[in-house]
Amino acid sequence: MMQPKAGKTTCPYCGVGCGVLLKKPTSIQGKIDSVVGDKEHPANFGRLCVKGSNLSETLTSDGRLATPKVNGENVSWSTATDFIAKKIQQVTHDYGADAFAFYLSGQILTEDYYVANKLAKGFIGTANVDTNSRLCMASAVVGYKRAFGSDTVPCSYEDLECCDLLIMVGSNAAWTHPVLYQRIAAAKALRPQMKVVVIDPRKTATCDIADLHLAIAPGTDAYVFSLLLAESHRHDVLDVEFIANKTDGYADALAEAILASPSIDVIAKTLKVDRALLDTLVKWWLDTPKTVSFYSQGVNQSATGVDKCNAIINCHLATGRIGKEGMGPFSITGQPNAMGGREVGGLANQLAAHMDFTTPGAIDLVQRFWNAPNLATENGLKAIDMFQAMESGKIKVIWIMSTNPMVSIPDTAQVKRALEQCELVIVSDCQEVTDTNAFADVLLPATGWSEKDGTVTNSERRISRQRGILPPFAESKHDWWAITQVAHKMGFESAFPYKSPHEIFIEHAALSDFENNGQRDFNIGALKALTKAEYDSLMPIQWPVTPNSLNGTQRMFSDGRFFTENRRAKFIAIRPQKPQLEVRDRYPFVLNTGRVRDQWHTMTRTGKSPTLANHTQEPYVELHKTDAERLGITHKTLVRVFNETGEIVVPAKVASSWLVQQGQVFVPIHWNQAISSKAVVSNLISQIVDPLSGQPESKHGVVNIEPVKNLLYGTLLSSTKLDVSDCLYHCEIKQSSGVRYEVALDSKTQLDEFVRHQVSVAFMNETLAGCWSEYKNTLNGDQRFVYLIKDVPVAVFYFSKTTINLDRSWLSSLLLGSDGVITDAISPMSETDKLALSVGYVACSEDKGQIVCSCFNVGEKQIQKAIVNGVESVRELGDRLQCGTNCGSCIPELKSFLALNNEVAL
């Protein structure tokens, strides 16, 4: 067996692409003991955010998929890949190549992506290869392509540090790209004259470093940038020479911008922001050549996302603020390898290596390079169309790899119908239970982070190695290997001879360079002759990497030459549009969706970490307190959020210093059905897409909200899993020992029957008989049930008509260890603890409140207490409580507590 070793690799979460060091395991099981930042990696220079710092907690065998399965039966890899190859051959023979599709992910490696794309587009003959990146940055890609003729991110992270004005549009980087955000915050601390503007309908943690926050009306970003273009013209801050010599289409774009934004007053009204705030933005834009516009999902996830991207790019072209230090339109990518997917052409409207089907000569070039017998010649179906084609029976076999569409694609009911209708659903995943796996006919166990080996590209075009440091779990295999096996069984052995990711990478590098002659931006030809040893020790490098740029390329377009046919950039005339769905009487709230600090996507990985569970324990809908009061909704009580597409049932979040505006609500995207049965926000989002990019409008829905009444709230802690799926609401919260559920039941539920049933199922196999301790408060109706075995609690149940105030971490510490094994050797509970059990907290223990600093487990009540006692700065808070002194992810929240206190004092 391969021996675990210490090594450098890359964080598997966000597109910042931080370098990490997996420290040598010291325990006998070979478990990774710690993950630390790689000081030599140019993305993070040793820093890690809270998700990266807690990676080791996710490296457990907990819930891993161990063997391939066909129709629920464990089978060998050989049987599974035979079965898949035969079925693909049968359906493509009977119905044509387009009856097959891959649905991939920005979380597979470049080598995995390359092989999937080659098999489908070159050999099976279908361009039905799409990816979750369609939900993520498809609009940014089309925006760049329209303007530059290529999907080229012009900037580098350094530009964010050396610009004088940073406009962050639709990005909550403090939580979503934390290390980059900290780099920006540090640069601003050194040069306080550097201005930061945040454009976001919500006040977010990112606003902490903002000199100006524009809480614009949802979906109105294109108006902002039309105004900036028109004002640049009105105040003559144009780069006339650049416009004349390096671009086309300026006059038309300007004419539309002037039409859309006749004056600052008009735009202030459209955006619903203060005229004075908008004046400030305009002034700073006009006065500051060194400007970077940094944009993310608030821009991309829109029915007019591409236009919004081009509205931003237009402003940079008009002022010549591109290709120079500290300037440029910088689309930031979300996933660790969204960029790698773009590079291999892993989207349905791309062919390969930054060539499209429409690129002159590309089809012939790729056909010859791959020696492809059956090259697809036209665009395939984009994600949403793909799922619709599955429902209508056109796609009969889908291979889903490294993505969880039952949670992430809009309109969950449609996704479910599609998966049910499809004849063969193959899912490659690391985990056994996911919402999507429930619909799989074939499950293939994939190696996960720390086991898999290959390359990823971060948001600044930097290619880094993810290294296989730990041995693969059970029978899990690399995704490229699984695809290669199927290719062999379909008769394509000679085109898929790969024995290692190195061979795939050098072929990919060679294709990028093949007959390129400077025509295509993506070129890593200088890496095409890497030996295996050189590939294994590859240092992070920004593409293009060519004989002229052997050390990579920091900034693109410094020569003002683009990749359009005439080498000139294109202005695009933009007519701003509002979101398609408008609030009405029946659905009076705008629904916004996005991320929380400590969870990643559908929680199949971060959901394993008890530390990361602390920050945001349950799903929620955040609403403004005026709206909440009007609807009779109080903090933490259960509400139903619904529209014509579906519904969710989650607790309300009312009290917060970062608020949504009146008439708007925010729901996080993370909680899947297995963890919380009615919290998947995709249930509420329609499949409205941008016509150019196919990216769904995931940031915008319209909904209504109502309180759920006549409930009993419950907190259940148990040393083994309970079955709470019948509750009106439940959420499982990861603990370091045992399991905890927050639930809500119908007020008429017979609680003694409920708890006895739970215990009889959960502790069915226990030979030691237990006994009950019960308590009922006749005044308020609160009820407590404790089930003890040998005087040790193994399950505790607390119920109340209102939300419950308990010391949950103390309660869980009373339970048996995480293995839940009850033996004679366990020592019984103390008398004090027994007494305290009836109320739910011990008098002497400190109630920390909601955890804010996950690294040192510091809660909001401790922070508030320290502030009341005179602490005045983040540094003093750190001295006193340690919070904020490790990864720094909680610093914006610490500052908001300090600011809140100042406001109260005023």
Ligand X SMILES: Nc1nc2c(c(=O)[nH]1)N[C@H]1C(S)=C(S)[C@@H](COP(=O)(O)OP(=O)(O)OC[C@H]3O[C@@H](n4cnc5c(=O)[nH]c(N)nc54)[C@H](O)[C@@H]3O)O[C@H]1N2
Q: 52 or 249: whose CB is closer to ligand SF4?
A: 52
Residue 408 contact partner, candidates ligand SF4, ligand X, Mo ion, none, CB within 5 to 8 A by sort of partner: ligand X
DSSP class of residue 209? G
Contact between 456 and ligand SF4 per CB under 6 A: no
Of these, 119, 179, 282, 292, which contacts ligand SF4 (CB under 6 A)? 179
Using rule CB under 6 A, residue 205 touches ligand SF4 = no
Binding status of residue 49 toward ligand SF4 by CB under 6 A: yes
Minimum Å gap between C-beta 295 and ligand X is: 8
**356 CB contacts (<8 Å, ≥6 apart)?**
349, 350, 362
883: amino acid identity, one letter: C
Alpha-carbon distance of 503 to 506, in angstroms, equals 5
Q: Report the C-alpha gap between 840 and 814 in whole angstroms.
A: 11
Q: Kindly give, in sequence order, each residue whose CB lies less than 8 Å from that of residue 119, ignoring residues fewer than 6 positions away.
A: 483, 486, 487, 492, 496
Instruction: Give the interface segment with ligand SF4, choosing from 16-24, 158-166, 228-236, 624-632 (CB under 6 A).
Output: 16-24
Among 7, 106, 178, 878, binds ligand SF4 (CB under 6 A): 178
Question: How many other C-beta atoms are found inside a 10 Å radius of the C-beta of residue 310?
Answer: 28
Residue 779, both tokens: 């005044």
Q: Which partner in ligand X, ligand SF4, Mo ion, none is near 52 (CB below 5 to 8 A by kind)?
A: ligand SF4
Q: How far is the CB of 600 from ligand X (least distance, A)?
A: 5
The single residue among 97, 116, 136, 648 that binds Mo ion, judged by CB under 5 A, is 136
C-alpha separations of 846 from 258, 532, 793, 816, 897 in Å: 60, 56, 21, 22, 19
Whose Cβ is closer to Mo ion: residue 436's or residue 704's? 436
| Minimum CB–partner distance for residue 333 and ligand X (Å) | 7
Residue 147 touches which member of ligand SF4, Mo ion, ligand X, none, C-beta under 5-8 Å by kind:
none
Output the smallest distance, CB 515 to ligand X, in A: 33
Minimum CB–partner distance for residue 13 and ligand SF4 (Å): 3
Continuous segment of H or E residues that includes residue 622: strand 621-623
Q: Can you tell me which of 8, 41, 51, 555 binds ligand SF4, judged by CB under 6 A?
A: 51
In the complex, minimum distance from the CB of residue 50 to ligand SF4, in angstroms, rounded to a whole number: 7
> Cβ closer to ligand SF4: 179 or 863?
179
The answer to whether 106 touches 133, Cβ cutoff 8 Å, is yes
Q: Is residue 330 packed enough to be buried (19+ CB in 10 Å), middle (13-18) or exposed (0-12)?
A: buried
Range in contact with Mo ion (rule: CB under 5 A) among 202-210, 330-338, 345-353, 705-713: 330-338
Nearer to ligand SF4, 174 or 227 (CB): 174
Stretch that binds ligand SF4, among 9-17, 101-109, 419-427, 547-555 (CB under 6 A): 9-17
Closest CA to 878 of 902, 864, 894, 854: 894
428 binds, among Mo ion, ligand SF4, ligand X, none (CB under 5 to 8 A by kind): ligand X
Count CA within 13 A, CB hemisphere, residue 604. 24
Q: Does 712 bind ligand SF4 (CB under 6 A)?
A: no
Report CA 6 to chain centroid distance, whole Å. 28
Q: Please list, in sequence order, all residues whose beta carbon lies within 8 angstroms of the beta carbon of residue 344, skipping any fewer than 6 positions away.
A: 110, 113, 114, 117, 352, 353, 508
Q: Tell me the closest approach of the beta carbon of residue 136 to Mo ion, in angstroms.
A: 3
Q: Is 769 exposed, middle or buried (0-12, 13-18, 19+ CB in 10 A)?
A: exposed
Among 122, 329, 334, 472, binds Mo ion (CB under 5 A): 334
CA distance 18 to 12: 9
Does residue 891 interact with ligand SF4 by CB under 6 A? no
**CA-based nearest residue to 682, from 421, 395, 435:** 435
Query: What is the Cβ-side half-sphere exposure of residue 553, based on CA atoms within 13 angstroms?
Result: 24
Closer Cβ to ligand X, 132 or 226, answer by number: 132
Q: Is 471 exposed, middle or buried (0-12, 13-18, 19+ CB in 10 A)?
A: middle
How far apart are the two ends of the chain, measured CA to CA in Å?
65
Sorted by sequence, the CB contacts under 8 Å of residue 489 that are 6+ apart come out as 81, 82, 84, 85, 86
At residue 93, φ and ψ (nearest 5 deg) are -70, -45
569: which strand partners? 247
User: What is the binding site for ligand X (CB under 6 A)?
Assistant: 14, 105, 107-108, 132, 135-136, 169-173, 175-176, 199-202, 204, 218-219, 221, 296-298, 301, 334-335, 401-405, 407-408, 428-431, 434, 446, 448, 452, 479, 592-595, 597, 599-602, 604, 669, 681-682, 685, 698-699
Q: Which residue has the tokens 């359009």?
A: 564
CB of 684 to ligand X, least distance (A): 8
Instruction: Point out the residue whose Cβ comes nearest to Mo ion.
Output: 334
16 binds ligand SF4 (CB under 6 A): yes
CA atoms within a 13 Å half-sphere pointing along the CA-CB vector of 24: 3
Is residue 746 within a helix (H) or strand (E), and if so which, with residue range? strand 739-746
Half-sphere exposure at residue 627, Cβ-oriented, CA atoms within 13 angstroms: 24
Q: Measuring CA to CA, which residue among 403, 482, 472 is closest to residue 68?
A: 482
Q: Which does 11 bind (CB under 5 to 8 A by kind): ligand X, ligand SF4, Mo ion, none?
A: ligand SF4
- Contacting range for Mo ion; rule: CB under 5 A; set: 12-20, 77-85, 202-210, 332-340: 332-340
Decide: is 173 part of the binding site for ligand SF4 (CB under 6 A): no
Q: Give whichever of 134 and 601 is closer to ligand SF4, judged by the CB atom.
A: 601
Number of H helices, E strands in the chain: 30, 34
Which residues in 395-404 are b (16+ Cβ under 10 Å) and which e? bbbbbbbbbb
Cα 103 to Cα 694: distance, rounded to the nearest angstrom: 14
Closest approach of Cβ 105 to ligand SF4, in Å? 16
Q: Kind and range of the H or E element at 104? A: strand 100-104
Minimum CB separation of residue 105 from ligand X in Å reads 5
Closer of 246 and 601 to ligand SF4 (Cβ): 601
Between CA 454 and CA 465, with CA 460 as vertex, the angle to 5 degrees is: 15
Among 18, 267, 339, 675, binds ligand SF4 (CB under 6 A): 18
Q: Which of 13, 285, 357, 557 binds ligand SF4 (CB under 6 A)?
A: 13
Least distance between ligand SF4 and beta carbon 545 (Å): 22
CA–chain centroid gap for 897, Å, is 26
Contact 443, 74 (CB under 8 A): no
Give the interface segment with Mo ion, choosing from 132-140, 623-631, 766-774, 852-860 (CB under 5 A).
Answer: 132-140
Judged by beta carbon distances under 5 to 8 A according to partner kind, the member of Mo ion, ligand X, ligand SF4, none in contact with residue 16 is: ligand SF4
Select 136 or 745, whichever has its Cβ closest to Mo ion: 136
Nearer to ligand SF4 among residue 221 and residue 460 (C-beta): 460
- Which listed range, 42-50, 129-137, 529-537, 590-598, lies at the site for ligand SF4 (CB under 6 A)? 42-50
- 270 interacts with, out of ligand SF4, ligand X, Mo ion, none, CB within 5 to 8 A per kind: none
Helix (H, G, I), strand (E, B) or coil at 427: strand
Q: Closest residue (Cβ) to ligand SF4?
A: 52
Considering the complex, state which of residue 17 and residue 201 has its C-beta at the smaller distance from ligand SF4: 17
- Does position 44 interact with ligand SF4 (CB under 6 A)? The reply is yes
Is residue 11 within the footprint of ligand SF4 (CB under 6 A)?
yes
The option from Mo ion, ligand SF4, ligand X, none interacting with 304 (CB < 5 to 8 A, set by class) reads none
Burial of 358 (0-12, 13-18, 19+ CB in 10 A): exposed
The total number of residues shown for the chain amounts to 906
For residue 199, the minimal CB distance to ligand X (Å) is: 5
Residues found near Mo ion in the complex (CB under 5 A): 136, 334
Residues found near ligand SF4 in the complex (CB under 6 A): 11, 13-14, 16-18, 44, 48-49, 51-52, 177-179
